[in-house]
Structures are given as structure tokens and as C-alpha cells.
Amino acid sequence: MDIQQLIGNTLRWGVILACLLATIGGVYYLIQHGLDPVPDYRHFEAANAAAQFNFTTLGGLWQGILHGDAASCIQVGVIVLILTPIARVVLSFFDFIVEQDWLYVAITAIVLTVIISNSLGGVHH
């Protein structure tokens, strides 16, 4: 398989998977909460799901999905959508190495470094 075709398919299937996950989660969320009373937005209260599951870790999202939490499914769909173009950059990096196009290897390495450093820089312990 041609690497350009693999990159195209990765983008296509990543977006399709993200949309499916978010749509399934959204429909399920409406089934679960569609008839809930409208919240009073003048006073903030933590949502039950947010208190029940840890939405800041993949393990917490996975636990939410296993417990039938629709918001977890929606959030995983968003994560897949975010990771799809990052996967394209990684595949392009290896394609440029195979083609021995060192200028684009360097540019892609810089882009990956920025993505990784920004992703890790947002993690607070």
C-alpha cells in the first residue's frame, strides 16, 4: 500500500470513527437525559457524571464507557478527532524518512516536537 493512500485512509477513517463515536454518544445522551429538567444556569453545580467518572484520563473515560456514560463516548470521539491529524503528521514523518527528503523530515520533526511539548506542557500534577 502506498504511504500517501495510508495517510488518506487514516484521515478518512479517523474522522468517520470520531463522528460515529460522538453521534452514538450524543444519541445515547439524549436517550438518557433528553427529558431532564433544564438546569438553572444562574447557579453552578457539578454534574453527576463529572463527579462519578474522571474525564481527564483515558482510564477514566474507559470506565465511563464501560458504565454506559454517554458523555464519555462523546469525549472519546473528540479525542479521536484530535488524534487523527497528529497520526497524519507521524505517518508523513516516516514517509519523508523513506523518501530521504531530509528537509521535510526536519520540518515534520519540529512539528511533532511542538505537538508533543504542548500536549505534555498542559499536564499538571
pLDDT digit of tens for each residue in the chain (125 aa)?
A: 688 899 999 999 999 999 999 999 999 999 988 888 887 778 776 665 455 556 668 888 888 888 888 999 999 999 999 999 999 999 999 999 999 999 999 999 999 999 989 888 766 55
Number of other CB atoms surrounding residue 67 within 10 Å: 11
pLDDT confidence of residue 125: 53
Q: Domains in the chain: how many in total? A: 1
Report the C-alpha gap between 51 and 113 in whole angstroms: 34
What residue numbers bound the domain in which 73 lies? 3-121
Q: pTM (2 decimals)?
A: 0.77
pLDDT confidence of residue 3: 87
| Angle in degrees, CA 19, 20, 24, rounded to 5 | 115
